[in-house]
Amino acid sequence: MRVIPWGARVSALGVALVLSAGAAPSLPAGTRIPARMNTSIATRAALGPNRIPDVHRAGEEYAASVTDPVGSGCARIDPGAVVHGRVSELRPGVELSGVKLALTADDIDGRPVAAHVVASDVERVPATDLGRTADSAAFAGVVMGGVFFGLPGIMIGYGAGAGAGAIGAYNERRVEAWLPAGSSIQVELDEPLTLPTRRTC
């Protein structure tokens, strides 16, 4: 059996330690980075006078700012780092369900990242009172039917008005999504993220 001199073993160990110490630090997949939206997003161009979004289409870009440090020592993401990404899915739902608002993150302070966004502050904005819409449409049908066709026209008008009201009511059952600027989000890493090592910190 070949005996390796002690000095050679110490030298080899020293090289191994240098290589290990020189490896770039990284955050593992699954790490969540807290941030706050700089961009407002909605499923329509306007949801009211106080709900006019910056973005309302899938594929458009958004920005957010990191709120808490992630990592430690000289290798970390500091508060204020800017997250850039895109809206990957955006559509309204029906009756408080089926609303979709999904975001992906593309980079953090210019460093490419593979991540998605967990947003718990998404508001679901229901449309106006659908019962009132259906009733008013049916009443309008009754009036118009009675004016033009007499008593038989009342029933015809009621049916036509109720049908139109039902269509309008269905449309008003749509629920829109609203994520205002200032909302808290979590950027969850899909792949490990290598962090830069700083000379001073």
Q: Answer yes or no: do 162 and 188 share one domain.
A: no
CATH number at residue 69: 2.40.128.260
* Tens digit of each residue's pLDDT (9 = 90 or more) over 31-64: 999 999 999 999 999 998 999 999 999 999 999 9
Rounded to whole angstroms, the Cα distance separating 38 from 53 reads 11
Is 60 among the domain residues? yes
Q: Answer yes or no: do 67 and 34 share one domain.
A: yes
Is 1 among the domain residues? no
Q: Answer yes or no: do 114 and 60 share one domain.
A: yes
Q: Answer yes or no: do 79 and 155 share one domain.
A: no
Identify the CA nearest to 133 among candidates 103, 98, 163: 163
* Tens digit of each residue's pLDDT (9 = 90 or more) over 106-150: 999 999 999 999 998 999 998 654 344 444 444 444 444 445 555
Rounded to whole angstroms, the Cα distance separating 22 from 28 reads 18
Report which DSSP code applies to 84: E
Q: pTM of the predicted model, to two decimals? A: 0.67
Which domain does 138 fall in, by range? 128-172
Q: Do residues 2 and 17 touch, judged by C-beta distance below 8 A?
A: no
